Chain A
Amino acid sequence: NAGVTQTPKFQVLKTGQSMTLQCAQDMNHEYMSWYRQDPGMGLRLIHYSVGAGITDQGEVPNGYNVSRSTTEDFPLRLLSAAPSQTSVYFCASSWGRLGGYTFGSGTRLTVV
């Protein structure tokens, strides 16, 4: 049972480049979310999904897109990378409306 799998673990981008952070879960969880973690700011919600085909914006959505075509996958797209998007990104999934979230191991992204 793999849980939540994020790829890649590390990535360096140049300003203006685009890329997709991959997230997959094998627990049949309805809820999936993307967070970014910056020093002193905790984890901030970027986008989330309550099921296949349904996504919504979180606290800091600008510069990011998501889609949820299947229950298992929830990719995060950076449209045109900026140095302000240098961060650690976590994907998480959950069962039920008040269940705990299981987190992936994170992606450390640097934009130069």
Chain B
Amino acid sequence: AQKITQTQPGMFVQEKEAVTLDCTYDTSDPSYGLFWYKQPSSGEMIFLIYQGSYDQQNATEGRYSLNFQKARKSANLVISASQLGDSAMYFCAMRETGGGNKLTFGTGTQLKVEL
């Protein structure tokens, strides 16, 4: 079974609008971390935001917030006030404390911000 599922291969959003990128995960480990990375066309992997499984509040970093719904096993990324520079591939990832603390990625969502 897929540990990380991103069901939106591609998304469009208008500049200055908010957009939500979906991510669901599967784990039986009670202690885990959830991450979002951005990969622009230049290819580098840029860390955006982190949510721990025991964190009570949703993580926020500037225009990025993580909508963490533990019971539903979802960790959606919300980007507010989209900018042209937000056009990129976005990856959701999970790290479990068991099994070597590996970081497992979803297949990504390609976001295109339009004028």
Binding site for B on A (CB under 8 A): 31, 33, 35, 40-45, 48, 50, 56, 58, 88, 90, 92, 94, 97-103, 105-106
Contact = CB atoms under 8 A, between A and B. Distances in A.
B102 interface: yes
B43 A105 contact: yes
Nearest to B42: A105
Q: Tell me which of B9, B45, B95, B107 has the highest count of chain A C-beta atoms within 10 A of its own C-beta.
A: B45
Given A42-B106, A43-B91, A106 B44 contact: yes
B43 A98 contact: no
B30 interface: no
Q: Is the interface of A mostly helix, strand, loop or mixed?
A: strand
Interface in B40-94: 43-45, 47, 50, 52, 91
Interface of B: 9, 31-33, 35, 37, 43-45, 47, 50, 52, 91, 95, 97, 100-108
Nearest to B103: A101
Contacts of A56: 100
B42 to A, nearest CB: 9
Contacts of A90: 45
Given A45-B103, A56-B100, A100-B35, A105 B44 contact: yes
Given A42-B108, A98-B32, 11 more contacts: A42-B107, A45-B102, A94-B103, A97-B97, A98-B95, A100-B33, A100-B47, A102-B47, A103-B37, A105-B43, A106-B43
B103 A92 contact: yes
Nearest to A58: B102
Contacts of A50: 100-101
Contacts of A97: 95, 97, 101
